[in-house]
């Protein structure tokens, strides 16, 4: 891979991230924050992530590391599950509510001709800890997915599509987030 291939937009770069959720009074809430850095400064984030590094054991560990970096490294979670893979063709910034379903709307915003990313996003249920504001993320809060659609949030990257697919899986397949084989694996992100 050379700079010429990157300049021509011929290289796809791997990234990974986490969607964190919890169950409160029988309701699903997802962790959100407001991005502070470009691209998409000021947009809502539901998938906390970044680039896969050569030192990462695998893509799931890259997601855990990046999710920990962007949320302050204090969340304890279990039930790591792949939500999906995204990119490199479209961004999905808006959600529309249709009854109890969420529909992601692709944006007209052009994707950079130079950098193309493929994102693998995992979800995990938080059972302890709180996020900490940092130079990348501010204004953390827990929110119900349908409420985020009603609020008209503008999501960073593919956030709207990630949230819509997560909501569909967890709502229509209740065991999706409760696989005993995975749920017994507890991970605490560390430096």
Domain ranges of the chain: 3-184
Q: What distance in Å separates the CA atoms of residue 106 and residue 91, rounded to the nearest whole number? A: 6
What percentage of the chain carries pLDDT values higher than 90? 65
Six-digit token string for 159: 């956030």
Residue 169 parent element (H or E): helix 159-172
User: Tell me, what's the pLDDT at 97?
Assistant: 95
Give the CATH architecture of domain 3-184: Alpha-Beta Complex (3.90)
Better pLDDT: 183 or 119: 119
Q: List, for residues 12-47, the tens digit of each pLDDT value.
A: 889 999 999 999 999 999 999 999 988 889 999 999
Q: List, for residues 137-161, the tens digit of each pLDDT value.
A: 999 999 999 999 999 999 998 899 9
* pLDDT at position 117 over 90: no
Those residues with Cβ within 8 angstroms of residue 180's Cβ, 6 or more apart along the chain or in another chain: none
What percentage of the chain carries pLDDT values higher than 70? 84
Its pTM stands at 0.88
């Amino acid at each position: 891979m050379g700079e010429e291939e990157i300049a021509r937009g011929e290289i796809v770069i791997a990234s990974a991230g986490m969607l964190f959720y919890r169950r409160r009074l029988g309701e699903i809430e997802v962790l959100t924050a407001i991005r502070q850095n470009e691209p998409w400064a000021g947009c809502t984030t539901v998938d906390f992530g970044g680039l896969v590094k050569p030192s990462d054991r695998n893509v799931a560990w890259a997601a855990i590391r990046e999710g920990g970096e962007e949320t302050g490294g204090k969340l304890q979670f279990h039930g790591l599950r792949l939500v999906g893979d995204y990119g490199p063709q479209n961004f999905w910034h808006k959600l529309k509510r249709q009854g109890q379903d969420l529909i992601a709307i692709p944006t007209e915003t052009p994707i950079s001709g130079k950098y193309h990313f493929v994102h693998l996003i995992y979800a995990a249920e938080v059972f302890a800890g709180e996020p900490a504001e940092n130079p990348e993320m501010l204004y953390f809060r827990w929110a119900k997915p349908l409420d985020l659609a009603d609020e008209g949030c503008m999501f960073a990257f593919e956030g709207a599509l990630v949230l819509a697919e997560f909501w569909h899986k967890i709502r229509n397949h209740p065991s999706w987030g409760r696989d005993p084989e995975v749920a017994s694996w507890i991970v605490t992100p560390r430096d």
